[in-house]
A and B are shown apart, each in its own frame.
Chain A
């Protein structure tokens, strides 16, 4: 009955025209797990490595900006899980970012933790906060849920201001740079913190993107997307909508909290009105939409956009007009590419290359009836 034909799997990539000669289909088929597929993957990794090496030679200011991009990208990757893949709009992710940041700051300053050892604590606390914020999603939906997350976002800076003893209140908190020196095993000195944070953020981002990719493709990922698209049908197919939403919120919060933790190490100074207000949440959402909702690389591209676009528009115009130009650029991008930059590129790429899963039943057949149709919703 089962029609997987293993004999065909190894190394049979099939470049060339589609059988049947339909003009519209993709021109290249690449089978997952085959040599050409691995080649493409390796090529992508090499390209990224080269880009990173190039960026690490940039002036300190630029490198710092790119570190910031990586950190924002991690935060947006977290948001993407709950808003992009599970369909729960969160305006509260600045609070996860802030909780992660303050957890790391407080542990270093008050309890003399090494920076790296604060990360698990920050992740854990943000995971729990995520579960809690996810709880109302069982009863309330859509914009009403967004209002709850809005309340979380608005109350976070207020709580930080009140908890003065721990957080330094409105005056903020400074983490002295001697606490933030690169770990000894790196061989870097204290003045080279910028280099350390650049590579460290890049590595964490890579791990986060890999984990998100695993998750989204897993059966839990299917449950997340099913819950997003139709809750009644998801339940009828055996998916616990409640568990899916809450766990997705927890993981999402944990990842954005991790970004906050890195942010403290990067900045060395925290204040409630600086980076943890509603504006930060809006920045994350903007980045997610620009990069591509429910895409795997969208968060990174979106982070580049939200960090660099304001600079770009400011360099061509002056004064308050820059904000207006930035707004216009946003509108134009969203108008031209409602699926986001990565979403759009993905649609174009699939016209040229078509990735086929290795267990596709028509792969090994002599009577190959032609490959599956193109077009994928996401990934």
Chain B
């Protein structure tokens, strides 16, 4: 049971909404530095699983552990400090704030945010802010967002905002990054570039990623390991090679398409 060295351990995670069982005893591990592809047809429960991990939903039963620590006792806003950051499928940006400030907000866990030091412009807090700003610029450069740094988030294209969310999540210097459909709103060639970007970011910053994506080419191309869900059940776990030939996975996708 105890997964040695795993970052995140999920065991028997179960949650229902009214009559719908969105997750039924789902369990798997995420290892450090690993890109784990999480696939499944619409409504399979992928986003719900993210919401359970990031403490937006409380599972009815089951166990979620972060390096052995019980995550279900940790408040949502402590997760970035532990090293868990996420992006949202349908975007959850701060519309009234600039792209730069959105990115800066991702560094909220990196140093204490003092209201008093904010009021008086206390020098130590200023120098912390300076470091975080440098980091934000670095990420904006990396994600090709510098030209938009000053623009309000509200009103930018969906695909651009997905990158802003990525920059914001990376500000937390995560050990585990949860990406919910990062390729949403992208064209075919952009998807390919995104895949390369995720891998290179992983190589540079060394995070593990839990990647939810419908774009099979992307998931199978960059994942080290794949888990498939259908109707809240784990129907497959294995390598990207195996999943292509797995009858249960094929049936789930074909069955839903019909």
Contacts and interface: CB of A to CB of B under 8 A. Distances in A.
Interface string A366-379: 00011011111110
Given A233-B93, A240-B77, A215 B118 contact: yes
Contacts of B85: 236-237
Contact of B76 (A2, A236, A362, A376): A236
A91 interface: no
A238 B79 contact: yes
Interface in A44-68: none
A220 interface: yes
A349 to B, nearest CB: 14
Contacts of A228: 94, 96
Interface string A281-317: 0000000000000100000000000000000000000
A4 B138 CA distance: 9
A2 B134 contact: yes
Interface size class, chain B: 35 or more
A230 interface: yes
A345 B100 CA distance: 22
A24 interface: no
A222 B146 contact: no
A376 B138 contact: no
Contact of A372 (B105, B119, B129, B146): B146
B123 interface: no
B150 A361 contact: no
A34 interface: no
A334 to B, nearest CB: 18
Interface stretch (B27-35, B107-115, B236-244): B107-115
Interface in B66-120: 75-81, 85-86, 88, 92-98, 101, 104-111, 113-115, 117-120
A378 B153 CA distance: 12
Contacts of A378: 96
A230 B94 contact: yes
Contacts of B97: 222, 225-226, 229, 377
Contacts of A237: 77, 80, 85, 105-106, 108-109, 168-169, 171-172
Nearest to B169: A237
B130 interface: yes
A366 B108 CA distance: 33
Contacts of B186: none
B21 to A, nearest CB: 23
A369 B104 CA distance: 23
Contacts of B132: 219
A222 B121 contact: no
A123 interface: no
Given A236-B79, A237-B108, A251 B119 contact: yes
A225 B96 contact: yes
A241 interface: yes
B194 interface: no
B137 A220 contact: no
A143 interface: no
B62 interface: no
Contact of A219 (B75, B86, B108): B108
Contacts of B146: 360-362, 372
B223 interface: no
A247 interface: yes
B92 A376 contact: no
Contacts of B56: 232, 236
A78 B130 CA distance: 27
Contacts of A241: 77
A41 interface: no
Interface of A: 1-4, 211, 214-215, 218-223, 225-226, 228-230, 232-241, 247-248, 251, 294, 354, 357, 359-362, 369-370, 372-378
Nearest 6 CB-CB pairings of A with B: A218-B118, A238-B109, A233-B92, A238-B80, A229-B94, A220-B118
30 contacts: A2-B134, A2-B137, A3-B138, A218-B117, A219-B107, A219-B108, A222-B97, A222-B104, A225-B97, A225-B101, A226-B105, A228-B94, A229-B95, A229-B96, A230-B94, A233-B92, A236-B88, A237-B77, A237-B168, A238-B78, A238-B172, A240-B77, A251-B119, A360-B137, A361-B138, A361-B141, A372-B147, A372-B148, A373-B150, A377-B96
Interface of B: 54, 56, 75-81, 85-86, 88, 92-98, 101, 104-111, 113-115, 117-121, 125, 128-130, 132-135, 137-138, 140-141, 146-154, 168-169, 171-172
